[in-house]
Amino acid sequence: AMSALVCCGPCFAPTALAEDGSLYPWLSEMLSSTNDKTYELARETIVLLLDCNPDIGPLLDWTVDKCFTGPARVADGCFMALATIFSAR
C-alpha cells in the first residue's frame, strides 16, 4: 500500500526524499528481499519515484550511489531502475 502511495505522482513530502530521507532505508530493505514480488515492487517503486520526481536530486544520487555501494541485489535493482528510466527517454 505504501508503494502505491509514494508512486501516484510528485512527492507530497519532499523531506522523505531529502538526503537522509526516511524512504531510502525502506527501499533498501525491499530491494534486499528474497521474495521476488517484493523485489520487483521495490524496483518499480524506484522507477516511478524517479519518473514523477525528476527535480529531487537526492533521489537520483541515492539510486546511483546504491549501484556502486549497495549489496548485489540492491545494486542490481537500482541499476535496472535507472536503465528503465533512461531507456524510456
Residue 13 lies in a domain: no
Q: Name the residue type at position 43.
A: R
pLDDT in tens, 52-89: 899 999 999 999 999 999 999 999 999 999 999 999 77
Residue 64 lies in a domain: yes
CB 54 within 8 A of CB 36: no
Residue 15 lies in a domain: no
Residue 57 lies in a domain: yes
Write the CA distances from 6 to 16, 58, 78, integer angstroms.
Answer: 10, 16, 17
Residue 16 lies in a domain: no
Q: Which three cell numbers stand for residue 34?
A: 528474497
| Helix (H), strand (E) at residue 39 | helix 36-52
Residue 62 lies in a domain: yes
pLDDT in tens, 16-62: 888 898 889 999 999 999 999 999 999 999 999 999 899 999 999 99
Residue 41 lies in a domain: yes
DSSP label of 22:
T
Residue 54 lies in a domain: yes
